Every structure is written in structure tokens, then in C-alpha cells.
Structure 1
Amino acid sequence: MSGKITLHYFNGRGKMESIRWLLTVAEVEFDEIYLTTREQYEQLLSDDDLLFQQVPLVEIDGMKLVQTKAIFNYIAEKYNLHGKDPKDRVMINMYSEGLMDLMEMIMILPFVSDTKPKLDNIQKKANERYLPVFEKALAGPVYLVGGKLSCADVLLMECTLMLEEKFTGILADFPNIKSFQGRMTRIPAISRFLQPGSKRKPQPDEIYSKTVLEVFKMTSLPLP
């Protein structure tokens, strides 16, 4: 299984979208197999492909990898997007995990009946806890760590676009982040990824959330 990378997930963003972003920036081709039925999920379980009975699942370099952060870090390391030394890598990981925490708050929205309290909480935390960190980090540097593009930059781009979908103008008080976005969009791979028809997924809809719940035989997802 050392050919093209294969992603196993739903036809939607969720926890796989950051992996799609990272592979795209690394300019690596990948295939996708979409989970649409309970039977597909049970087959993965039967084949012992899901170490902890969870997706995402990524087939790469003859391995079947699960756990989003492990997959993400492996790809970042493989394609030189994880810093030059341990000090760079720990900073990249801190930034990345903070961004993943924020994005996970957005990911659960399709499974919440009353989204307003969640949205209010996301907006407050974004403005007070998360965005100021990155605004300060980008006061001068082109990239977050070591003057070089890393997976943390890719996540920041993805996350800020997600925030702008929910909160128009949220970056008005964060000019360094806005400038960073502009620089990132000039990277050819990202520019292509942002165009219609790319492998970037749209905002989740009812079909996505319904499919997830049906595959997992749940009426709602457990929320953090």
C-alpha cells in the first residue's frame, strides 16, 4: 500500500479537513473514500483498520494511520512542514493544538440544536484567547515559527477562514493576521485549493451531519 495516499472519512470537513489542507500545501495528491453507510464503517472495524474504532483513517507509506494529531504530525514531518529542530517543533505544536481546540468548537456546530450559545462562546474565546496570540506572533515575522512555512501556518489559515464564515469582520482588529491571510493566498497550492472544484469541503450541511449520525448509529454526538 505504498501508492497514492488514501483518506477514509465523510464527504465533509470535520477532523479530516486539516489533513486535506496540509497535503494540498505539500502538493501531494490523494484519493478519498467517503463513509456513507454503517456497513462501510463496520467493514473497517472488521478489517482491524481502526485502532481506536475512530476515523479519520489515512493510508500512507504502507501504514493505516488514525488519530488526527498523529496523522497531521506525520505528514508535517514527512513534507518538511514541522520546523528545523525540537524547539521549533514544540512551538509549532503549541500553536497547532491551540488552533485545533478552537476549530473543534466550530466542528460540533452541525450537531447542536441551539447554536447561539456555542457561537457566542466561540466568538468570545477567539477574540480574547486565541486571535491575540497569533496577532502578536505575526508582528513582524512572515510565518509563525522560524521564518519558514509550517503546518501551524496552514492551520491558522484554515481556522481564520472558518471564523470569518461564522463571524463577518472578526479579523478587523487583527491586521497582522489579515495580512498573513493575504500572503498565504498567494501560495499557488492554497490559491488553487480556495477555488471552486477543489478538494476543499464546503461548510457542513444537514446531509453531512445526518450521514455522520447514521454511520455511528447515534442520535447526537457527545459534546465536549
Structure 2
Amino acid sequence: MNINEYFEAHRLGGKASSVRYDNTTRLDKAKEQLELKTVSVDEIIKLTNRFLTSANIEPVPNPIVNNSYISKLTNNKFKVSDFYKKQDLDRIFYKNLMSKNNLSDERDIVWMKFAKDNEGNDRLVVVAKSNDINFIIPSNSADYTKKDKDGSWSFNTAGVLLHKLGMKYDESFILAFPLKSKDNQSMTTKENGSIETGIGNYLIDNKVPIIDFYSHNW
């Protein structure tokens, strides 16, 4: 496999990059992705590990972070859906994953979230990195342009897309892939940005639909 071809980011520019206001580029792409055949979570894990191995990164045999995992980690205090809503879980989870994998930066973790389609299948929503896992979805269209005190959007692109599509996250699990090179070194920020892009592009090339199609290209 020549993995270098997958690292090039395919970014949208200007208004096309936004899911807010009247632009429909990303929404149209999301609808297109939902028309494609579902790929199982097991197959997504297999493909991701194949890519990581080719990039000289340790594969992750079991990247599934479910309620049982979180409950055991936090002594029954939290579940997966508590990500981002309760910062205590964020700190416990990332600290544990970084410690177990000798990582120096939270951005050395690539994660994936899913949503249920009309047939009850899990659909990959986003391939991302860092420490901002959340399941927040707007309650109405007026929330699309709502901002927090620091000026950032209150609801991210994936959340807005799901609301427009009438879908909900599957809050029972995520996939988390710590990026540890085979020489037992943490990946650099520059490298893991490329890996995030590479994974997403590789999944797409292998016919895995991604609802927030451009999520890994920023």
C-alpha cells in the first residue's frame, strides 16, 4: 500500500465549508453518503488497523469504548454519553489512554463516532482527533448559529448535520485509536494530523461512508 496518497487534505473553501446559513454543500454530501451501502463497525476497525500498520503505527485490536469500558474505568460514575458534558470523564479517559500507550499529547488519539440510520445500522459520522468527543446536537435550527462566550460555535458541524438529517448519535460507544508508533514513541502533532486525514481518506477509498465527509480534512 502506498499510504502517502491518502495524506492530502481535501478541504472545502469559503461558504462551502459551512453547514450554517443557506449553504448545502456538506449536507448534500452527507445525504449522498447515506445512500451508500453500510459498512460494519468490525470492518471499519479492520481497515483502520490496516492503515495504521502501513503507517508504522501499532494497530489497536479492540478500539471499542463502550458503557462497560467507561463504567469500569470510572467505578460506575459515568457512561459514554457523558463525554464533554462532564469534564471529569474527559480527564479520566484521556489520562488513562495516554498512560497505557505512552502518549504525550491528547491529540495523539484518533476517535470515531457513529449514528443510527433508519434501518438501525451504525453509520460512521466523523473521524477526528484530540479531546473534544461529544454527542451534542442542536434542538432546533436557531441553535445552528449559537455561539459560546469565547466566540466558538456551540454546536459543531457533525451535530448540525445530524439535526438536519433527523438523526441521533449512537451514544453507547465510540472507537478510539491511540497513535503509538512501533518504536514505542508518541506521534507528533504534525504527524497525527496527517494520520487523521489519512485514515478518513483510506476509509472513503474503501467505500466506507462518512456522514461528515470532510471532518478529517481540517
Q: TM-score range by the shorter chain?
A: under 0.3
More helix by share: 1
Q: TM-score, normalised by structure 1?
A: 0.25
